[in-house]
Amino acid sequence: MRRFGRYLSSHVITAVVVALVVGATTAVAAPTAVTSVVKLAKRANFAKRAGKATRARYATNAGKAKRATLALSANVANNASLLGGHPASDYQRITPIGFRAQAGTGETTLLDTGALVLTASCDGTGKLRVLATTKVDHADIEGFGNGGDIQDDDFNIAESPVSLGPTQGENRSILYTDQAGQFVEVHYLASAKAYPAPGAGDPNPDHGQPLGGAVACLVAGYAMVR
């Protein structure tokens, strides 16, 4: 009986020791396991947030691109509508014209619309001349200013070139059109070193040289082509 008690006691002690060891091991392992789970949860949470942020960024970029495309399309459509189906070349374009030359400068092209050509020259004495040439027959050209008017209702190639009138201290406007429908409007000032003698009864002009003598002949203005 005593032997059995000793045997039972030893087994109980062994079981208790084993339980304590296992419990200690489990207690030690438990924090590690919990830490791992927390880390995995954090990584999953970060990944989820990153995924949402990436998708949001892509959505924002896609939205911006789509809005930009729609805006561009709307703008193009609006412009096309405003043009009424006509190419932009059918509409007005403004071209500056200028001629700043010394005496002895030959014919120089100021404007070429494909139908109307304007040229200017400055002779050896500093006298300015502005000419118009038509490349098509049966055009119409009118010119007016403070030095006299010009008019040709049947302006033909064979008549070209024609003088556009006075050029000394002159403010002039030229209108031109042809059978194809091109319309040209030109405005310019013209001045030169050489001035004609005043006519009988006219006051003596008090003109200085163009731009303080920097040039002998000057044309400055613009043309509108439609």
pLDDT digits (tens, 9 = 90+) for 33-60: 555 655 665 666 666 676 776 677 766 7
* Angstrom distance (rounded) from CA 14 to CA 6: 12
Residue 64 is predicted with a pLDDT of: 74
- In terms of Cα–Cα distance, which of 111, 112, 176, 190 is closest to 145? 190
Range in 8-17, 29-38, 69-78, 124-133 the model is least confident about: 8-17
Average pLDDT over residues 120-127: 94
Q: Which residues contact 82 (CB under 8 A, 6 or more apart)?
A: none
Read off the pTM. 0.58
Residue 146 is predicted with a pLDDT of: 79
Furthest-apart CA atoms within the chain: distance in Å: 166
Query: pLDDT tens for residues 135-160?
Result: 999 999 999 987 778 899 999 999 99
* Angstrom distance (rounded) from CA 197 to CA 203: 10
**Between residues 60 and 11, which one has the greater pLDDT?**
60
Judged against a pLDDT cut of 60, whether residue 162 lies above it is answered with yes
Max avg pLDDT among 46-55, 125-134, 198-207: 125-134
Judged against a pLDDT cut of 60, whether residue 21 lies above it is answered with no
Res. 93 pLDDT band, cuts 50 70 90: confident
Judged against a pLDDT cut of 70, whether residue 25 lies above it is answered with no
For residue 89, CA distances in Å to 73, 97, 182 come to 21, 19, 11
* Angstrom distance (rounded) from CA 77 to CA 198: 59
* Residue 173 · residue 189 · CB < 8 Å: no
- At 214 the three-state DSSP class reads coil
Residue 218 is predicted with a pLDDT of: 96
